[in-house]
Amino acid sequence: MLFSIRSMTPDDVMAAVELQKAAFPPPFSEDLHWDPAHLLRHIEVFPAGQFVAEIDGGIVGSCSNAIISEEGWQSHSNWGATLGGPFIHHHEPRGSTLYGLDITVHPAHRRIGIGRAFYKTRLCLGNDLGLARYGTGCRMPDYRSFSVNIAPVTVTEYAAKVVAGESVDRTMTPLLRYGLRFLGVIENYMEDIESANAAALLEFPL
């Protein structure tokens, strides 16, 4: 199925918000879904960093990004402190790091390359802007099921298994395959029951 990646516009915002509901159902908290005001703010402060995927005129994916300072990256803090909340108050146009906030793909249109295309777009943008790296805190949504049904490991032990290829996580594993490097686990990163509120810190040097 053919899709295209293009910049997000204000006209795309409501479709992108609805997409969140389909892509991140419970137990993921609805409080963490984008509101229209969040995405409009992203477009206002960093229009070059916001994208959508489109099929036959319909929005099937979205991708949000910010730039953070080198100090902000090196602190490896939680989502809110790093980005300044969903309105990305810590977006720093002169910063060093393109930070991935979110990729959302409608469940009916996964496994056709949209996520990979968004990542290629992100890395091209980071290179074009002369940034030092792309970085993100990555969800590990299969941790909860693994620890309950397979082995009672900590989230850090689980991340190590995913990095070693001993387990597959539906979000983290593809990013490792894209060439992102695992740096460690950030505890209490955001409210995320499936990931034990943690995130895998990943980077791609540019």
Q: Given this model, what pLDDT does residue 30 score?
A: 76
| Pair 185, 202 in one domain | yes
Query: Which pLDDT does position 47 carry in this prediction?
Result: 98
State the pLDDT at residue 23.
83
Supply the pLDDT for residue 31: 75
What per-residue confidence (pLDDT) applies to 27?
79
84 and 149 co-located in one domain: no
Domain coverage including residue 110: 1-131
Tally of domains within the chain: 2
Both structure tokens of 184: 């460690």
Q: How far is CA 42 from its chain centroid?
A: 14
Boundary residue ending a domain (82, 107, 131): 131
The count of other CB atoms within 10 Å of the CB of residue 25 is: 10
Instruction: Give the pLDDT score at 84.
Output: 96
Distance CA 125, CA 103 (A): 15
Per-residue pLDDT of the chain (206 residues; tens, 9 = 90+): 799 999 999 999 999 999 988 888 777 777 778 999 999 999 999 999 999 999 999 999 999 999 999 999 999 999 999 999 999 999 999 999 999 999 999 999 999 999 999 999 999 999 999 999 999 999 999 999 999 889 899 999 999 999 999 999 999 999 999 999 999 999 999 999 999 999 999 999 99
Q: Report the pLDDT value the prediction gives residue 103, as an integer from 0 to 100.
A: 94
Examine the domain organization and report whether 119 and 160 are in the same domain: no
Task: Determine the pLDDT at residue 26.
Answer: 79
pLDDT value, residue 83: 96
Instruction: Classify residue 132 by burial, with Cβ atoms within 10 Å: 0-12, 13-18, 19+.
Output: middle
- pLDDT number for residue 1: 75
In terms of domains, do 36 and 120 share one? yes
- Give the CATH number of the domain where residue 75 resides: 3.40.630.30
**Secondary structure percentages of the chain, helix, strand, coil, to 5:** 40, 25, 35
